[in-house]
């Protein structure tokens, strides 16, 4: 197995002043990447700014002999993100790797959730990832090299009480990642998702003390480094935590095909077990794979070839 090296590569890691982002930035730098360490210095709920978090991580990287610069852009502000990307290119010449990691929480049940809190979380997680990827997209395609990771969450993939805003933002990233991995394929731009679970300030009080040691961000970073390496996969959702690595996939079941008098809600309900049966379930390559399957099945049910 060849060693993973980021010599000559330039990475932007958002929200890298603390937690997972800090660990990713240190991991990239330790293997040779020049890193722009972005962090707004916000509290977990997204309020405030201006801490020295990003600068402290840059100092750590430099102390270890690496190259890094700090950046305080708010990823939810498209103008600041463009300036951040311009600065990285001016300083390092190009950008090869984008790690969308910045994040906040504004948890409430949907009944109590204000639209402002919903929008704020969407703005940081989803639009923040859109702005960074958009600002770098042409640059990466023209250079025929790009590795982009979106940080999702089990809340987005599976749901979690009190996190409608966060869950919506984190699963919306899946749609973005799917399309970017398809559009980027011919330019060697690969997009993946990381679904971490870690002991950080974001999960403070939620994880029992005895488990904190197992869930350090450093147990996740090797997975992130694999997703942005030369040999990275594309369109993958990598689960990571406590040294465990898994893949989450979206499957479609084989299902049933109805016609004529059977084409009714009653039959759909009556045959729900067959519709949901996991045997022969498939991963679709793209949206038209599903359309083609339905048309093929309908034609076969009618005896048309």
Q: Which of 131, 166, 187, 294 is catalytic?
A: 166
Residue with tokens 């030369």: 230
Residue 53 in contact with ligand NAD, rule: CB under 6 A: yes
Residue 19 contacts ligand NAD per CB under 6 A? yes
171, 154 in Cβ contact below 8 A? no
44 belongs to the binding site for ligand NAD (CB under 6 A): yes
Nearest C-alpha neighbor of 94 from the set 177, 165, 11, 184: 11
Q: Which stretches does DSSP call E strand in 51-110?
A: 68-71, 97-100
Q: Which stretch binds ligand NAD (CB under 6 A): 25-33, 71-79, 112-120, 297-305?
A: 71-79
What is the total count of residues that contact ligand NAD (CB under 6 A)? Answer: 33
d(CA 85, CA 111): 38
Query: Least CB distance from residue 109 to ligand NAD, whole Å?
Result: 19
Q: In the bound complex, what is the minimum distance in angstroms from residue 132's beta carbon to ligand NAD?
A: 10
| Residue 166 appears among annotated catalytic residues | yes
Q: How far apart are CA 129 and CA 76, in angstroms?
A: 8
CB of 17: closest distance to ligand NAD in angstroms?
A: 4
Beta strand residue intervals within 131-272, DSSP E? 146-151, 189-196, 237-241, 244-248
Cα dihedral value 70, 73, 78, 83, nearest 10: -40
Instruction: Select from 57, 75, 135, 176 the one that contacts ligand NAD (CB under 6 A).
Output: 75
Is residue 160 near ligand NAD by the rule CB under 6 A? no
Residue 198 sits in the site that holds ligand NAD (CB under 6 A):
yes
Strand partners, 291: none
Catalytic residue list: 166
Positions touching ligand NAD (CB under 6 A) are 14-15, 17-21, 38-42, 44, 46, 53, 74-76, 101-104, 124, 128, 151, 153, 196-198, 200-203
């Amino acid at each position: 197995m060849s060693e993973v090296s980021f010599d000559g590569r330039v990475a932007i890691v958002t929200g890298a002043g603390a937690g997972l982002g800090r660990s990713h930035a240190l991991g990239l730098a330790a293997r040779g990447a020049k890193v722009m360490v972005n962090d707004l210095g916000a509290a977990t709920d997204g309020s405030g700014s201006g801490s020295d978090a990003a600068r402290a991580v840059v100092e750590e990287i430099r102390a270890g002999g690496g190259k890094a610069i700090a950046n305080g852009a708010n990823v939810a502000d498209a103008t600041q993100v463009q300036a951040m990307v311009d600065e990285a290119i001016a300083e390092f010449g190009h950008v090869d790797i984008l790690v969308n990691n910045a994040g906040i929480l504004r948890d409430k049940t949907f009944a109590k959730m204000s639209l402002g809190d919903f929008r704020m979380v969407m703005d940081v997680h989803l639009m923040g990832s859109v702005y960074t990827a958009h600002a770098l997209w042409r640059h990466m395609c023209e250079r025929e090299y790009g590795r982009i990771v979106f940080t999702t969450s089990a809340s987005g993939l599976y749901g979690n009480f009190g996190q409608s805003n966060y869950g919506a933002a984190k699963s919306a990233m899946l749609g973005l990642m799917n399309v970017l991995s398809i559009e980027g394929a011919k330019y060697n731009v690969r997009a993946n998702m990381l679904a971490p679970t870690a002991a950080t300030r974001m999960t403070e009080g939620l994880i029992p003390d005895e488990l904190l040691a197992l869930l350090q961000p450093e147990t996740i970073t090797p997975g992130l480094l694999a997703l942005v390496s030369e040999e990275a996969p594309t369109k993958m959702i990598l689960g990571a935590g406590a040294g465990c690595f898994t893949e989450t996939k979206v499957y479609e079941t084989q299902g049933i095909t109805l016609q004529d008098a059977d084409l009714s809600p009653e039959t759909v309900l009556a045959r729900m077990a067959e519709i949901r049966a996991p045997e022969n379930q498939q991963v679709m390559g793209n949206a038209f794979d599903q359309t083609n399957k339905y048309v093929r099945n309908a034609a076969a049910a009618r005896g048309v070839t």
